[in-house]
Structure 1
Amino acid sequence: MEGDDLKQKVHDTFVAAEKNEHLKLTHAESKKLKDPLTAIQYWVTFAPSLAFKPKARKGDDKRIDDPFANPDKELVVINDVNGDGEYKLLLNKFPVVSGHILLVTSEFKDQQSALTPVDLMTAYKVLCSLDGDEDSDTSENRHLAFYNCGPHSGSSQNHKHIQIMQMPKRFIPFQDTLCNGKDHFLPTFNSEPLQDDRVSFAHFVLPIPESSDMVDEDLLAMCYISLVQRALTFFQDWNDEAPGLSKSYNVLLTKKWICVVPRSHAKSKPPFSLSINSTGYCGMVLVKNKETLDKLTEEPSLVDRSLFECGFPSTAGQKPTEYDY
């Protein structure tokens, strides 16, 4: 996967698929907001037509209406990503941003299953190819890979897939600030994952080595496992208050950092009822009605409240023994 070749292939496949109406690029308007209380940036995208997007059918057989089983050939960017038949790279059929792609397992695997070392490394390699060699902090061609795992994560398809999309230009997610100037490390009892005490929801972040030569399957797997272990403790701790709460979490990955967020709900409470997936937890929120957009514009801190309602309370500043890791 050479960077220029992959970027060109994604572009060419997208242009052809859109021209032939095999995908529909959703008309959307975006604006950058800043929470005056925390200085956290939010990228709010208004896409009213998504309210009418067809929903995947739910049932006991998770393979019903699987769009990735026999994907439209016009949406296939790469039919065999690693040359081993394990993954395909497809275009999103209903993208909000151009070039939104999906790293999909060739055989059906459940979206509620954990990511494997190969899943993580393959996604990281795609990021490296798409980002190129530019400085990841200043590049206008920076990408985010994300995985919605579990029924409360914002996932809409049962077939295992990691989504990859370009991030907004000149947008700074709070994870960037959190990791700025920090070297890669793995958590220990005395060295916890990073958390930003400006946000209300629980999240766990680790810096990734700047040089891609230092990143391999083992490193990514250890990062992922250590963060997921911490996320899963919330479902044990909250069992009395919410018995039977299904385990769900979001994974966000860039060349700079990896982040895991435990999830309690797929939507925030009324009146907003925002549907939130992984992208919300780096500040990119999708809005489908004008009234909600106006409210968030008037009071950006409502974004943090919505993210809190879909997650768990932050444990930033607490010692490990205080929440039984």
Structure 2
Amino acid sequence: MPQRKSDARETLFLEPGTLWAKVTERTEHALHCGALQSIPTECKLVEQGGVNFLVRVLPNLARKEEAKKKHDKQTATSGKEFNPFLPYEEDLFVADISDTHLCLLNKFNVIDHHLLIVTREFEEQETLLTLQDFAAMWACLAEIDGLVFYNAGKTAGASQRHKHLQLVPLPLVPDGLQVPIASLFPSIQYQGTIGTIPGFPFAHGIAFCSGKHDVNGTVQNAIAQPDPLEAASSTLEGYHSLLDALGLMSGDRENSNRPLGAYNLLATREWMLIVPRSLESFESIPVNSLGFAGTLAVRSEQQMQFLVEQGPMTALKNVAVPTPTL
């Protein structure tokens, strides 16, 4: 059962108006002490299907791969899977969000001020999101205009089993749309409150806040900074509706806290998108939630050339679930 509003309100620890200052202070500290190990990138815009995809080349992944090898060794030695969040690295700690969630810097960040919204206790990444997850998400979105995403399962690009949402500030592309896929928003077709994007050649569903949205994906007349707990409750309802529409919600909701398949979730202050997943990568190019926002990453110039030839939308189509036929 969802918590009563009065009970849930007591769980929020984050003092309004403080998160961004905490993020910038902790980023400076973590860079100075070496805890934050940003990965330099080169970027290229690749157009397909009406979307200008931002593709990053990550030629220097040595530090991240070395850390993964160390974690794998610890797992093999202890017989228990390594969990970077229990305990978390103190130098990456940003803020306590609630009694169930905290905020950390992403250690190997590609995007500046990339945040992790992590459950204090271990929960599987594949479990359904809860009222508490969305309350923590909105507590952060009220402070930072960003894109929150959730890779629900390894097939959806999750690299850690411990449940965590992620937040990156907007816009994703300098001097561009808030998110590259927003160029397709004017063509959205609705069935009730759930929309589909004709330019997406795969199963998906999108829901908007009340109000009309413009070409940038910004909702006109919407509340920019809603109460986190009120927003969490309505977002949870919308989340369940999208899962239902996409065939991802179990009929036995009382006894099951897992979806019927892997998926990616993306959310801003204005909209929420869910895409069911079938494969973890396109050829050898991994795809997580950010791919469906219009940003992808490759490891080499060879992969970049391959992606340019095949097209980013083709990559998304191959790792998603086919659009159901009537």
Is 1:30–2:43 an aligned residue pair? yes
- Give the aligned partner of residue 164 of structure 1: 167
Deviation at 1:171, TM superposition (A): 3.5
Is 1:202–2:203 an aligned residue pair? yes
Of 200, 213, 219, the residue aligned with 2:226 is 213
CA distance in 1, matches of 2:226, 2:130: 20
Whether contact under 8 Å (1:14, 1:98) holds in the other structure is: no
Deviation at 1:2, TM superposition (A): 5.7
TM-score scaled to structure 2, two decimals? 0.78
Is 1:50–2:64 an aligned residue pair? no
- Percentage of matched positions with identical amino acids: 26
Alignment of 1:272-291 (within 5 A): 273-291=284-302
Q: 1:130 to 1:234 in 2, by over 3 A?
A: closer
Aligned length: 282
Deviation at 1:128, TM superposition (A): 2.1
Q: 1:25 to 1:3 in 2, by over 3 A?
A: farther
1:107 match: secondary structure: coil
- Give the aligned partner of residue 25 of structure 2: 12
CA distance in 1, matches of 2:269, 2:323: 25
2:122 match: secondary structure: coil
- Give the aligned partner of residue 273 of structure 2: 259
Deviation at 1:4, TM superposition (A): 4.9
Deviation at 1:312, TM superposition (A): 1.2
Give the counterpart letter for 2:89 in structure 1: D
Give the counterpart letter for 1:307 in structure 2: L
Whether contact under 8 Å (2:127, 2:152) holds in the other structure is: yes
Q: Deviations 1:136-192 (Å, cap 9, x if unpaired)?
A: xxxxxxx1110011220100001000011122323433653455599xxxx8xx526
Deviation at 1:40, TM superposition (A): 1.2
1:232 match: secondary structure: coil
- Give the aligned partner of residue 77 of structure 1: 94
Whether contact under 8 Å (2:187, 2:198) holds in the other structure is: no
Residues 39-48 or 257-266, more deviating: 39-48
1:163 match: secondary structure: strand
Which ranges in structure 2 are unaligned for 5 or more consecutive residues? 1-13, 211-221, 252-259
Alignment of 1:296-307 (within 5 A): 296-297=307-308, 299=309, 302-307=311-316
Which ranges in structure 1 are unaligned for 5 or more consecutive residues? 132-142, 237-245
2:317 match: secondary structure: helix
CA distance in 2, matches of 1:125, 1:234: 26
CA distance in 2, matches of 1:230, 1:294: 36
Q: 1:24 to 1:234 in 2, by over 3 A?
A: same
Give the counterpart letter for 1:295 in structure 2: F
Q: Deviations 1:196-218 (Å, cap 9, x if unpaired)?
A: 11122221101124214385222
CA distance in 2, matches of 1:48, 1:97: 15
1:286 match: secondary structure: strand
- Give the aligned partner of residue 10 of structure 2: none
Q: Deviations 1:232-259 (Å, cap 9, x if unpaired)?
A: 35999xxxxxxxxx72001101111100
Whether contact under 8 Å (2:100, 2:132) holds in the other structure is: no
CA distance in 2, matches of 1:218, 1:233: 20
Residues 144-153 or 25-34, more deviating: 25-34
Whether contact under 8 Å (1:3, 1:130) holds in the other structure is: no
Whether contact under 8 Å (1:81, 1:87) holds in the other structure is: yes
Q: Deviations 1:52-111 (Å, cap 9, x if unpaired)?
A: 62436489x996211001111111001x212xx211101111111221110000011110
Give the counterpart letter for 2:197 in structure 1: D
Q: 1:174 to 1:168 in 2, by over 3 A?
A: closer
- Give the aligned partner of residue 194 of structure 2: 193
Q: 1:218 to 1:62 in 2, by over 3 A?
A: farther
